[in-house]
Chain A
Amino acid sequence: MTPEETPSSDTAPSPSVTALQREHPEWVREVIIAFGETTIVVPRENIADACTFLKTSPETRFDFLADICGADRGVEEEPRFEVNYHLFSTTKYHRVRLKVLLNEEDTHVPTVTGIWKTANWHERETFDLFGVIFDGHPDLRRILLPDDWQGHALRKDFPLRGYEPYSLK
């Protein structure tokens, strides 16, 4: 993944990055600025703390969790999975994306349902389609696929037609 070169005005660090780097530099593993969007790669064990900080800090005030989505980079990739948190501030009117990278063997992430309640269904969806397990989630079960489904449909190694032809007969 090679993000294109962006104009210099976009590469200026956003207030959320500077605040996070000043207070907790160990939570910022990498900062990616591309297409005018800021992405902060956060270690897995710090994601809940980083979200709490970004929500409560007066500089950032990310009071709105716009989306949580998973991504499968491919079976051969290492780390294979990523979980992206899209934050938005309704008062400051700015955005940031947090990214957690996961290995295939250990797809556990701490939940952020205690910070934003809307994370409940987003995390269920990510669990349903990618198999990412959110530790501490109050009700982690499938939300889109049927309850008796086998596997996780948006993984790259999931066969397009499913594992077996479906029939009630």
Chain B
Amino acid sequence: MGLENVIAEALPEVLTTRLDSLINWARKSSLWPATFGLACCAIEMMNATSSRNDLARFGSEVFRASPRQADVMIVSGRVSRKMAPVLRRIYDQMPEPKWVISMGACATSGGVFDNYAIVQGVDKIVPVDVYIPGCPPRPEMLIHAVMMLQDKVMNESVRDRRDIPEEEAREAVVPGTLPITDGSTAQQNTLPESRPYTIASRHERRRST
């Protein structure tokens, strides 16, 4: 969605190194995150933009209320199983180029929430560019992650990323979302006879020994 796509399509053989460095510099200098706080890590994310830490020094302070205007999604906190389709939809609504920072232990791996309700790592839903450890990470760590992402952006090429065609994006159905059902759900929710456990939890392993 821009000049770089037109040039890459019209002149596929032309080396675009200088153009890359210009566009990447512009992109890395204005990495706008989506306003998307999930849990306690979001407090640290907000703090990163405060006057003390001042994420604005690196061009990343403008949290956009609309995913259409955002470049970076900072997944700040544990992603519940019910929130996962919502998160995926917000990611799909962001225009290319887009990046994802997984902030904190819970977003990265599920953290202490090793149970059915929490997605064990947001990289099961969206591709992640930078992971931040910590519970929660300090704002300095988030700023460091933004700067690592800037380094990554500088090594990209405009040919690497393509916009999703508009009609395809509109037709896409986010997995995991269902239309609201009527009152007969009780019959639909009868449990199958036997479903094998894939991974025994720590709790179950302890009980079996």
Q: A residues near B, CB below 8 A?
A: 127, 131, 133, 137-142, 144-153, 158-169
Q: Does B155 contact A (CB under 8 A)?
A: no
Tell me, yes or no, whether B97 is within 8 Å of chain A by CB.
no
> B-side interface residues toward A, CB under 8 Å?
81-82, 84-85, 88, 114-117, 119-120, 124-125, 174-176, 178, 180-183, 185-186, 189, 191-192, 195, 197-201, 203-204
Counted as pairs of residues, one from A and one from B, with CB atoms less than 8 Å apart, the total is 90
A-B contact pairs, 7 of them (CB 8 A): A141-B180, A148-B176, A149-B189, A160-B204, A163-B195, A167-B124, A169-B124
Q: How far is the CB of A134 from chain B (nearest CB, A)?
A: 9
A168 touches B176 (CB 8 A): yes
Known contacts: A160-B115, A163-B198, A164-B198. The answer to whether A138 contacts B85 by CB under 8 A is no
Contact partner of A159 (CB less than 8 A), chosen from B117, B125, B204, is: B204
Judging by beta carbons under 8 Å apart, are A153 and B125 in contact? no
Query: Using Cβ atoms and an 8 Å threshold, which residues of chain B touch A127?
Result: 186
**Among candidates A137, A139, A159, residue contacting B197 with C-beta atoms closer than 8 Å:** A159
Q: Which residue of B lies closest to A144 (CB)?
A: B82
Chain A nearest CB from B170 CB (Å) reads 19
CB neighbours (8 Å) of B178 from chain A are 146-148
5 A-B pairs with the lowest CB-CB distances in the bound complex, closest first: A162-B116, A160-B201, A167-B124, A141-B185, A147-B178
B82–A145 contact, CB under 8 A? yes
